[in-house]
Structure 1
Amino acid sequence: MLRRNDRFVYSPITQRPDFTWPDGKRLAVHLCLNMEHFAYNEGLGISYSPGIPHPNSYNWGWREYGNRVGVWRLIELFDDFELPVSVLLNSAVYEHCPQVTDAFHNRGYEIVGHGRSNSEHQNDFSEEEERRLIAEATELMTRHEGRAPKGWLSPGVNPSDVTPDLLQEAGYSYILDWPVDDQPVWMKTRAGHLLSVPYPHEINDIPFVALHHGQPDAFARAIVDNFDEMLEQSRKQSLVFGISIHTFLIGQPFRLRAFRQAISHITAHRKDIWLTTTGAIADHYAGLFPAPEH
C-alpha cells in the first residue's frame, strides 16, 4: 500500500460551491516577500557556489546583499505601486537588521512566521525541538508587532510530519507549506483544522531562478502568463494567485527591472482583482467556509 496523506480530503476544483472575494472579485493576488537571515559559515541555505569549503564569504555575502540593499529596492517598488505585502520573516531579522522590520511595521505589511532562520529546517528537529522553535519565533514576532502572527511558512518549505499539528496547537490559523490547490483548503490536524492558503512553488524565484537558472525576462513572463491565464480561469472558479520573491534574488537590479514590468501589468488590472495579503485571504475564506467540525 502507498503511504497516504490524510490531511486533505480530495475535491475537484470544478465541483465546489462557488464564492467570490470582496467586492465580487474572482481572483485574489498576493505578494510574498521572503525576508531571511542566515548563519555565517554553518547551517543550510540556497547556494550559488556549491562545493566551496567554509569559510565561504561568497554565499553569505550574496544572501546578505538582500538585507542591506535588495529589500530596500523592493520596498521602493512596493511603495510605487501601493502594494499590500505579506512578509515571510525569519525572527532573527529583528535583531540583525531592525531598520528593515521597522520599515515593514510602519507600512502595515502582514508579518508571517518563517521560523528563526533559513539556516535550519523544521524537518531536522524532534517534535519537542520544533515546538520550541515555533514558540520562540512566535514570541519574538508578537513582542515586536504587538499581535501574534496568524500564518506560517516553514523555512526552506520543509515542514515535518507534525508541523501542521504544532502550528494549530500554537494558535496559528493558516499555513503556506502545501502547494496543492488554487483555492484555500482545510487540512486536518490532531486537534482540529488548519487552513492551507495557496503559496506558489512555480511563480517563486528560488526554484525558477536559483535552481533552474531562469532568466529575469523569463520569470517576468511566467508571472504575466500565469496571471493572465488565472484571470480567465477565475470566471469559472474564484482563485488565488501568489508571487513569491526573495530579497537577494529579485532585489538584484537586473532582475528588479523585469519584475517591475510584470507588476505593472498586474496592477493595470487592479479593478478586476483583489490585491491583498495571505492573512486576508485566509480570513475571508474561513468566514465563508468555516473549518469542519470533525
Structure 2
Amino acid sequence: MPLPAEFLEYPHRAYGMDQDRYDWQPADRRAPLHLKSGAKAMAFITIPLEFFPLDPPAKPFKHPGAMVTPYPDLRHYTTRDYGNRVGVYRLLRELGAAGVKATFAVNASVAERYAPLIETIRTAGHEIAAHGISTAHIHHAGLSEDEERALVTQTRAVLPEAITWLSPARNQSFRTPDLVREAGFTICLDWESDQRPLDMRTAHGPLTCLPNHYELSDFLMLSTRSQSEEEWADQILEAAAQTVAEHGARGAQCFGFTLTPYITGLPFRIEAVARALTGLAAMEGLEVATASEVSAAFAETSS
C-alpha cells in the first residue's frame, strides 16, 4: 500500500539542510577561527541531573533512561536515584582533582528536591544549566504552543540564572528554539550539527548551539553499546586530540560529551573518568571549560 502523498511533503525542503534555523555552510568553505586564548580547541562536559518518576508517561515516548519494568520499577528507580545521591559526588571529586569545570544540566524537579546538591555544584564553580522540568516532561510537536511555553516558563522560574538549555531527552518541537530564546536562554545543547558554536535563528534573536556529541555519551557507549570503560575513555581523548590536530586546516573547534551520574559515577567506572579528565586537562592546545565559557570564547574569535 503506497504512502499518502503528504508523507513526502516538507515545508522547509530547500537547497542545503532542509530547515531555516541556520545556513548550509560546510566546514571546508569557511574561514578558520582563532581563539583569543591561543587554544586550538575547546571541550565542555555536560552532566545531567535528572528526576525519573516511578510511573512515567509513555507519550510521546519514554525518556531513554526511564523505568523499564512494570510499576513500581523500584530497581531502575533506585539506580537513577543513586546517581544523584552518590555517583554525582564522585564526578565532582574527579572534576576537582583535574581542575575542570563542567556544565550541570538540572531538571527543575531536581533543583527543587535537592537544594544542597545544587549549592555544592555552584560553590565549586560549575555552571548550572536548565534541563526542563523532569524526564516525564518531553518537548514535542504534539504540545500546543501554550503547553510548551508553560514547560519552559516553569523551568525558568526554578532556575532563573541559567543561560544554557538542554531539553529532556534532547527532544524538541519545531517551536522549542523560539520558546527557549523567548525565556532568556542564549545557549542550547540539543543539536550537534557542527564542530563550532552555531547561531540558530529564532523569533527572539540568535540561540547558540554547541556540539554536545551523543556519540561520546557514556549512556550510549557504556550502557547501550556495552563498550568497555577503557574504550570509552580512549574515544574521548582521541576526539580531543583529533580536534586539536585539525586546527591548522579548520581553525578552532569545540565539542562536548556527557557524564551521567548513575552510569559513570559507579565505583568501577570512576577510574576511567579520572583518566579521561586528567588527559583532557593536560592536553596541549585544548581548553576545557563550561558551555557558557565556550560560547563566550567563540563569540570573540577572529578569522
Q: TM-score, normalised by structure 2?
A: 0.87
Say which of 158, 182, 201 aligns to 1:140: 158
CA contact (8 A) 1:48 1:210 kept: no
The separation in 1 between residues aligned to 2:103 and 2:191, in whole angstroms, is: 17
Say which of 32, 38, 43 aligns to 1:18: 32
One-letter amino acid of the structure 2 residue matched with residue 278 of structure 1: A
Counterpart of 1:95 in structure 2 is: 112
Structure 2 gap ranges (5+): 1-8
Counterpart of 1:242 in structure 2 is: 256
Say which of 75, 79, 83 aligns to 2:92: 75
Tell me: CA distance 1:92–1:161, structure 2 relative to 1, closer, same or farther (3 Å): same
Structure 1 gap ranges (5+): 143-147, 290-294
CA contact (8 A) 2:107 2:132 kept: yes
What per-residue deviation string (whole Å, max 9, x for no partner) do you get for residues 10-63 of structure 1? 10112222222232111011111111111123344335873x211110111111
One-letter amino acid of the structure 1 residue matched with residue 45 of structure 2: L
CA contact (8 A) 1:28 1:239 kept: yes
Task: Determine whether 1:46 maps to 2:64.
Answer: yes
The separation in 2 between residues aligned to 1:244 and 1:21, in whole angstroms, is: 24
Tell me: CA distance 1:96–1:191, structure 2 relative to 1, closer, same or farther (3 Å): closer
**Percent identity over paired residues:** 26
Counterpart of 1:112 in structure 2 is: 129
Counterpart of 1:145 in structure 2 is: none
- SS class of match (1:213): coil
The separation in 2 between residues aligned to 1:49 and 1:214, in whole angstroms, is: 22
Tell me: CA distance 1:183–1:257, structure 2 relative to 1, closer, same or farther (3 Å): same
Counterpart of 1:150 in structure 2 is: 163
CA contact (8 A) 1:21 1:28 kept: no
- SS class of match (2:274): helix
Bigger shift: 172-181 or 204-213?
Answer: 204-213
The separation in 1 between residues aligned to 2:194 and 2:234, in whole angstroms, is: 22
CA contact (8 A) 1:36 1:117 kept: yes
Shift of 1:232: 0.6
Shift of 1:286: 3.0
Counterpart of 2:203 in structure 1 is: 190
One-letter amino acid of the structure 2 residue matched with residue 94 of structure 1: A
Say which of 271, 274, 278 aligns to 1:260: 274
CA contact (8 A) 2:197 2:208 kept: yes
The separation in 2 between residues aligned to 1:121 and 1:47, in whole angstroms, is: 13
Task: Determine whether 1:167 maps to 2:180.
Answer: yes
The separation in 2 between residues aligned to 1:31 and 1:83, in whole angstroms, is: 9
One-letter amino acid of the structure 2 residue matched with residue 20 of structure 1: H
Shift of 1:273: 1.8
Shift of 1:221: 1.6
Aligned length: 282
Tell me: CA distance 1:205–1:125, structure 2 relative to 1, closer, same or farther (3 Å): farther
Tell me: CA distance 1:150–1:98, structure 2 relative to 1, closer, same or farther (3 Å): same
Counterpart of 2:265 in structure 1 is: 251
Counterpart of 2:6 in structure 1 is: none
CA contact (8 A) 2:194 2:211 kept: yes
Task: Determine whether 1:211 maps to 2:228.
Answer: no
Tell me: CA distance 1:47–1:163, structure 2 relative to 1, closer, same or farther (3 Å): closer
Shift of 1:227: 1.4
- SS class of match (2:43): strand
The separation in 2 between residues aligned to 1:73 and 1:241, in whole angstroms, is: 23
Counterpart of 1:177 in structure 2 is: 190
